[in-house]
Amino acid sequence: MNPSNIIDGIIVIDKPRGVTSFDVVAKVRRAIGQRRVGHAGTLDPNVDGVLVVALGKATKLIDELQTRPKRYIGEITLGFATESEDLDGEVVEETTITTPFSNRVIDEAIAELQGHIKQTPPMFSAVKVNGKRLYEYARAGEIVDRPIRDAIIYNFKRTSDVTYVDQRQLFNFEATVSKGTYIRTLAVDVGKKIGVPATMTSLTRTMGSGITQEDAITLESLKTLSREELLQHIISIQDILTWPIKSLSDDEWFAVKNGQKISQWEPSNDYLQLVYHGELKAVYAYDREQNVWRSRYVFTNE
């Protein structure tokens, strides 16, 4: 493909259930007509919603995009647990709820799972232990010690009445969380706080990397939109980034395009977007150990 036709930016796909994140990337790659495509934050096949897909030079920013908050809506059911913590796995525990828990008890359990928390990832997850993913151990019937992970729950609340059906209770929720949070495990932990098994029985991501579902296009539309129409849905790299912008002098640009460290600029906790003649060239980060600015992302040295 002609380099001048390469698209740099992100496109947001409203992923349907039953499709893997890898499938979405493959379809975007074919529709856009370029190979350099990746996604920021995997969605399980049975989860629908926002999948942020990076194109071209924007793939350099996937690690940054993944650090931004994600928001989900879904359903938690109290009264049974599965091996996968969602409906994909076999039921491993059941409890008959003869006396329904009050809204207050459920809301107090949810309130305890706010802020900085610790999570043990589910066995059916992609976390690696000794070079092997947990789901590989699970499929082989092997049990291993799972690493405890940090997560931040920015907001977690019940969004519906609690329904009592077939001696189980279920309710809808909304949660805004950090990178690495397992919503399935959050559902299970609500049950643990109450003292009953629980399962995440539905999940939709409504925001990823700070971008909401309103900005997403459907997977089906990739087949029908022309390339020109698709371009209208691309979010540019400049619109993705929120860090301060610094315009470079000729001498500064010479240093930056040659990957040099810079000590003359004022220290900052923010990254700097470096622009030369109106074009974003790179992002620099301040190294407090060496008291210099150094390259973090490079988009072009031309």
**Second CATH level (architecture) for the domain 71-200:** 2-Layer Sandwich (3.30)
Instruction: Look at residue 1 and tell me whether its pLDDT is greater than 60.
Output: no
Residues pairing with 293 in the sheet = 262, 286
What pLDDT is recorded for position 296? 95
Active site residue 88: no
SS3 140: coil
What pLDDT is recorded for position 147? 78
Instruction: Look at residue 60 and tell me whether its pLDDT is greater than 60.
Output: yes
What pLDDT is recorded for position 4? 56
- Residue 124 pLDDT grade (very low, low, confident, very high; cuts 50, 70, 90): low
Q: Is the pTM of this model over 0.85?
A: yes
What pLDDT is recorded for position 126? 65
What is the per-residue pLDDT across 249-294, written as a single tens digit (0 to 9) for each? Answer: 999 999 999 999 999 999 999 999 999 999 999 999 999 999 999 9
Class of domain 243-298: mainly beta
CATH number for the segment(s) 7-68+210-239 = 3.30.2350.10
What is the per-residue pLDDT across 174-215, written as a single tens digit (0 to 9) for each? Answer: 999 999 898 999 999 999 999 999 999 999 999 999 999 999
What is the per-residue pLDDT across 136-152, written as a single tens digit (0 to 9) for each? Answer: 777 777 778 777 889 99
Q: Higher-confidence residue: 83 or 254?
A: 254
Percent with pLDDT over 90 in the chain: 76
- Residue 3 pLDDT grade (very low, low, confident, very high; cuts 50, 70, 90): low
Q: Higher-confidence residue: 1 or 197?
A: 197
Instruction: Report the distance separating Cα 296 and Cα 252, nearest Å.
Output: 16
Percent with pLDDT over 70 in the chain: 97
Instruction: Look at residue 42 and tell me whether its pLDDT is greater than 90.
Output: no
Residue intervals of the chain classified under CATH 3.30.2350.10 are 7-68+210-239, 71-200
Instruction: Look at residue 73 and tell me whether its pLDDT is greater than 80.
Output: yes
What pLDDT is recorded for position 67? 92
- The enclosing H or E element of 109 equals helix 103-111
Catalytic residue (one of 14, 44, 86, 189): 44
